[in-house]
Structure 1
Amino acid sequence: MITDSQQIDRIIDCFGFLRRKDPTFKRLFFQAASVVHLDKPQSICHEGMSCTHLALVISGTARIYKLGENGREITLYRIGRGESCILTASCIISNTPFPAIAVCEEALEAVLIPTAEAQNWMSRFPAWQEYLFGLVSERLAEVITVVEEIAFRRVDHRLAAYLLKRAESNGNQAIKVTHQEIASDLGTSREVISRILKDFESRQMISTNRGSIDLLNTRALSNQL
């Protein structure tokens, strides 16, 4: 149960469905909810586990990924403030095990809703039903895009797009990322990423340092798309 008024206000500010005029749902939500704090790089959920709670993120970031038999990772998506995990939501709706791995990328604060309540509210409260189905439809498009990128787009093109997007979100500062982290995000091997980055560097599009990448020629990188 969450009773602290400041904490309640923070959570309502994060999740718009709680601002709808349904006092019964809001009361039940905060009676059932608890808050958890997890540190980087703490594991959240392993493949095959039962989903006992749905986590709604207040702050921080979690990464959801698949691990292949060859040890290669592919990032499916990330969740941050005001978001939740579609795979967890799907597992709760369908009573199936979690099909991926979730881990904290940044220190995480989240609201936990027990599975029984999450399932029960689906048939009772339109605001909750709309939130969960909206979550699934929104994130499903992202997962499909990931699959299409891996299946149909060249790695050098995807890497150029990745670097440009990271630089834009970072205010065009140096990108703090390792070759292995890029490989995991793009679903390829570290060796492939290192080779392409070396090629980009030889063409003076980027400069690399340990754990960071500077973009020197964004126009040339854009031409790789």
Structure 2
Amino acid sequence: MTSNDVTLYLKNLPFWEHISDDDKDLICGNLHPLHYEAGQSVHSGESNCLGALIIRQGILRTFLLSDEGKETTMFRIREGSICILSASCVLSVITFDVQIEAETECDVLLIPSAVFQTLMKRNIYVENFAYKLMTERFSDVISAVERMFFLNLQQRIAVFLIDESVAQHSTTLTLTQEQMAKAIGSAREAVSRNLKLLAKSGCIEVSRGTINILDRKQLYEIISA
């Protein structure tokens, strides 16, 4: 990756134009490109605090892990976005352990936690950005909890397919049933059964590694039923 590529990503940071040249140099001098394979752990509540991650390519999944090993996905972070929970040690509002893994192969830029903490102390724009992003992420968490409690599995699948279609800008979705099961907090076998029912009804077509949405209106009707 060239220095021009790095500069492009940094200039897209909402606070970039509001920080001093010294702080810009601090970021550039400590920025680390990292690569993660699909399924690799990025951050755990038991591990050291990484810092802020700028997603260049791929998808990160943020989830909670119970003592029994059950996973509950909170949200997923895509290319061009910033993962702030990986810098949870510098945010006083984070009082629970979160897990972050690479759902797909990922390339990220890391702003180390010590650097990010220094920036937050020096500049109100960086601090506001961090807490505003956290507020948005907690809204995602509340939405995930509401779906878990108030929608049945088929409705949750329908919501996921519509959201994923918007995110991928396509009606042909590239994902596995295992990825979907993790994303909506269900067993793969249960997801597979419901996908077969949806395919039988004619609203989707399922093939290996892809799901094609044939009737979006029918998916909305399932959600509102």
TM-score bin (small chain): 0.7 to 0.9
CA drift of 1:216 comes to 2.6
CA distance in 1, matches of 2:31, 2:211: 41
Q: Does 1:153 align with 2:148?
A: no
Match of 1:165 among 163, 166, 169: 163
CA distance in 2, matches of 1:172, 1:56: 24
Q: Does 1:57 align with 2:34?
A: no
Structure 1 segment 82-101 matched on structure 2, within 5 A: 82-94=80-92, 99-101=97-99
Aligned-partner residue type, residue 191 of structure 2: I
Distance of aligned partners of 1:107 and 1:178 in 2 relative to their CA distance in 1, 3 Å threshold: closer
Aligned match of 2:12: 14
Distance of aligned partners of 1:112 and 1:210 in 2 relative to their CA distance in 1, 3 Å threshold: closer
What secondary structure does 2:82 align onto?
coil
Aligned match of 2:212: 214
| Worse-matched range after superposition: 95-104 or 27-36 | 95-104
TM-score by length of 1: 0.83
Distance of aligned partners of 1:148 and 1:22 in 2 relative to their CA distance in 1, 3 Å threshold: same
Aligned-partner residue type, residue 102 of structure 1: I
8 Å Cα contact 1:40/1:105 also seen in 2: yes
Percent identical pairs in the alignment equals 27
8 Å Cα contact 2:44/2:100 also seen in 1: yes
Aligned match of 1:201: 199
Unaligned runs of 5+ in 2: none
Aligned match of 2:33: 35
TM-score by length of 2: 0.83
Deviation track 1:8-56 (CA, whole Å, cap 9, x = no partner) reads 4223233131123522321222233333233334321233112043323
What secondary structure does 2:91 align onto?
helix
CA drift of 1:71 comes to 4.2
Aligned-partner residue type, residue 14 of structure 2: G
8 Å Cα contact 1:51/1:98 also seen in 2: no
Aligned-partner residue type, residue 48 of structure 2: S
Distance of aligned partners of 1:6 and 1:47 in 2 relative to their CA distance in 1, 3 Å threshold: same
What is the count of residue pairs matched by the alignment?
222
Distance of aligned partners of 1:12 and 1:222 in 2 relative to their CA distance in 1, 3 Å threshold: same
Match of 1:192 among 182, 190, 194: 190
Match of 1:125 among 123, 126, 134: 123
Unaligned runs of 5+ in 1: none
| Worse-matched range after superposition: 16-25 or 175-184 | 16-25
Aligned-partner residue type, residue 118 of structure 1: F
